[in-house]
Chain A
Amino acid sequence: MNAIETHHLSHCYGAVQALRDVTLSIPQGELFGVIGADGAGKSTLFRILTTLLIPDEGRVTLNGLDAVRDYRAIRRIVGYMPGRFSLYGDLTVEENLQFFASVFGTSLSQNRRLIEDIYVQIEPFRRRRAAQLSGGMKQKLALCCALIHAPSVLILDEPTTGVDPVSRREFWQILQRLRQQGITIVASTPYMDEARRCDRIAFLREGVILYTDTPQGIVDHFGEPLYAITADPMHALLDAVRCFPGVLRCYAFGESHHFTLAADRIDALRTHLEAQGYHHLQLQPIQPTIEDCYLKLSQS
């Protein structure tokens, strides 16, 4: 049985169609990533999965339970981290955990083993008010609060936004361990290096799932010749490449710019740029990353 199934979900806010005919199957124990721009419908989908929002159309089941009829039972098996910091800022770390545990009829001492390896990292600050924690610590506390009632499904809405690169890496190592314990995890993220760590990724745009595949599958389907280029000056180079006939797109990508152009046009581009006065030109074919695929899908 799949942990999560949605059938033809649609939802509107007034005239805005937030979700359109979303059908998904997520097997138990999968780490499933959702990517898409702000307003693509990620949070709406997550609110429906957590029974906080009833969709206009369609049906959701979690572990076979119906999201409308069995919402009480579902809330007991789902842990949810909303996009915005959702804890009580005036309560301490420990008080927040005790509160969330008591809501689910358990206690911190009873279920501490579930969160042990995360909680030890924030325990030195257990008497600090949640509002006074740093970004990474807040997210670790929020994850502890989402796990304290032993859920079998975790729904995480951009859990690492505002978190530094070291803490982000730790956070995803924690998610990998939870997945190994059999917990099904659905997470959205604006970081494509995190999306790469998921078993499968769904790309959402304007309420529609455009694409669902494994990270490798997404990269394998890129299907266009991709190049990296560097030259002086870099800023102007962006527009110079974009203006060259046949270039589909060109964008900054870390230390170089990436662009798509037919292989038999590359020498002409090089000659053209050198004639325009670009120095230290370096140009080579590269393999696409998830982020290249995201940029392609966003513009298709």
Chain B
Amino acid sequence: MTPLALDIRNLTKRFGSFTAVDHLTFQVARGEIFGFLGANGAGKSTAIRILCGLSRPTEGEGLVAGYNLRTQAEQIKRSIGYMSQRFSLYEDLKVWENIRLFAGIYGVPHREIAPRTDALLDELHFTAERNTLVRALPLGWKQKLAFSVALFHRPQIVFLDEPTGGVDPVTRRQFWEMIYQAADRGVTLFVTTHYMDEAEYCDRVSIMVDGRIEALDTPARLKAQFAATSMDDVFQALARHATRTDSF
């Protein structure tokens, strides 16, 4: 049996009388590319914060990388990588300084940082940009670097929160090929996106509506289930009826 990267049961988060995340139950296998979709306000960000060990659930339980969500948040944080469009790299630091900083935070042994930095820059063809301020890099390069930094400490799972927001079709594809490579090496990818063609690149996809997972399957089976020709049609069919769409 494939070991599970995430095993989540009845995960619930309430803020006062408001239930942001409502009894999520799902599993993600190691090496899987799992698409976590939903409209703005559906509860994705709240769920991701819990899965990353940054917030405690009101109800429910789960294992992330084999660690208990309630009692082992610190171990979870060390076993995962995280990248979002809003926060990933420090713009005022150079390329190598960002790598060094995050490697240190995630506890990569000191003597390994320099050789692994060289190898990474070489692989990305970034060697000439080692001393460039991140601010001066084109958006597509920043995103590739941010993803590589999130992978640098060799986490089991990487959470990608809208990693390709605002990126043109060419750069998005380059980014997804990096995702494929990571998945083929056995890393589990947990991805949110508003691009529905990218939903097709996932092994399985869940769609959240008003705090609940309303659909979860492979893209092919979801399209069959909703008699849809594209994932965009599946998403529209489900999310159109959301009462909370866009209100949070």
A118, B245: Cα distance in complex, Å? 15
Cα A299 to Cα B242 with chains together (Å): 40
Question: When chains A and B are docked, how far (Å) is the Cα of A38 from the Cα of B172?
Answer: 11
Q: Which residue of A lies closest to B242 (CB)?
A: A166
Give every chain B residue within 8 A of A191 (Cβ-Cβ): 195
Q: Is the CB of A162 within 8 A of B165?
A: yes
Residue contact A166 to B235, C-beta cutoff 8 Å? yes
Q: Is the CB of B101 closer than 8 A to any CB of chain A?
A: no
What residues on B are CB-neighbors of A161 within 8 Å? 165-166
The answer to whether A36 and B168 touch (CB under 8 A), given A167-B245, A252-B176, A254-B200, is yes
Contact A190 B220 (CB under 8 A): no
Residues 215-259 (chain A) with a chain B CB within 8 angstroms: 235, 238, 251-255
Chain A, residues 187-224, CB within 8 Å of chain B (1/0): the string is 00011110000000000000000000000000000000
Fill in one digit per residue for B144-170: 1 if any A CB lies within 8 Å of its CB, else 0. 000000000000000000100111111
Closest to B197 in A: A254
Which residues in window 125-142 of A have CB below 8 A to B? 125, 134-137
Contact B232–A165 (Cβ < 8 Å): yes
Residues from chain B with Cβ under 8 Å of A193 in the complex: 232
**Interface residues in A88-143 (C-beta closer than 8 Å to B):** 124-125, 134-137
Q: Is A21 close to B, CB under 8 A?
A: no
Q: Are A166 and B239 in contact (CB under 8 A)?
A: yes
Q: Which of A38, A167, A235 contacts B139 (CB 8 A)?
A: A38
Interface residues of B in 174-219 (CB under 8 A from A): 176-177, 180, 183-184, 194-197, 200-201, 219
Residue of B nearest to A161 (CB): B166
Q: Which of A19-52 contact B (CB under 8 A)?
A: 35-39
Docked CA distance A254–B171 (Å): 15
Question: Once the chains are docked, how many angstroms separate the CA of A192 from the CA of B41?
Answer: 24
Question: Is B85 among interface residues, defined by CB-CB distance under 8 A?
Answer: yes
Please report the C-alpha to C-alpha distance between residue A158 and residue B247 in the assembled complex, in whole angstroms.
21
Query: Which B residue's beta carbon lies closest to that of A165?
Result: B235
Cβ distance A208 to chain B, nearest Cβ, rounded Å: 16
Report the minimum CB–CB distance from B64 to chain A (whole Å): 25
* Chain A residues near B231 (CB-CB < 8 A): 254
Question: Within 8 Å of chain A (Cβ to Cβ): is B110?
Answer: no
Does chain A have a CB within 8 A of B140? yes
A295, CB-defined interface residue at 8 Å: yes
Q: A254-B230, A294-B169 are in contact. Are A167 and B39 (CB under 8 A)?
A: yes
B232 and chain A: residue at smallest CB distance: A165
The answer to whether A255 touches B220, judged by C-beta atoms less than 8 angstroms apart, is yes
Cβ of B107 within 8 Å of any chain A Cβ, yes or no, is no
Shortest Cβ gap from B15 to chain A (Å): 13
- A39 CB to closest chain B CB, in angstroms? 5
Measured between beta carbons, the chain A residues less than 8 angstroms from B173 are 251-252, 295
Rounded to whole Å, the gap between the CB of B176 and the closest CB of chain A is 6
Contacts of A17 on B, CB cut-off 8 Å? Answer: none
- The answer for the CA separation of A291 and B247 in the assembled complex, in Å, is 31
How far is it, in angstroms, between the C-alpha of A38 and the C-alpha of B184 when the chains are bound? 29
Question: A63–B231 Cα gap in the complex (Å)?
Answer: 42
Q: Which residues of A sit under 8 angstroms from B220, Cβ to Cβ?
A: 255
B170 near A295: Cβ-Cβ < 8 Å = yes
The chain A residue sitting closest to B240, CB to CB, is: A166
- Does B87 sit at the interface, judged by CB under 8 A? no
Given A39-B139, A136-B246, A255-B200, CB of A190 within 8 Å of CB of B169:
yes
Of B41, B140, B232, the residue contacting A134 (CB under 8 A) is B41
**A180 at the B interface (CB under 8 A):** no
With A134-B41, A134-B247, A161-B165 as given contacts, are A168 and B184 in contact (CB-CB < 8 Å)? no
CB distance from A57 to the nearest CB of B (A): 24
Does A274 interact with chain B (Cβ within 8 Å)? no
- Which residues in A have their C-beta under 8 angstroms from that of B140? 37-38
Q: Are B200 and A38 in contact (CB under 8 A)?
A: no
Which chain A residues lie closer than 8 Å to B248 at the CB level? 134
Closest 8 CB pairs of A and B: A38-B139, A134-B40, A161-B166, A254-B200, A254-B197, A164-B39, A37-B168, A136-B246
**14 new A-B pairs (CB below 8 Å) besides A35-B168, A162-B166?**
A37-B138, A37-B140, A39-B138, A134-B248, A161-B165, A161-B166, A162-B165, A164-B239, A164-B245, A164-B246, A165-B196, A169-B236, A294-B168, A298-B170
A-B contact pairs, 29 of them (CB 8 A): A37-B140, A38-B140, A39-B139, A134-B41, A134-B247, A136-B246, A137-B246, A162-B165, A163-B40, A163-B194, A164-B39, A164-B239, A164-B245, A165-B239, A166-B39, A167-B246, A168-B194, A190-B167, A190-B168, A191-B195, A238-B180, A252-B173, A254-B197, A254-B201, A255-B219, A294-B169, A298-B168, A298-B169, A298-B170
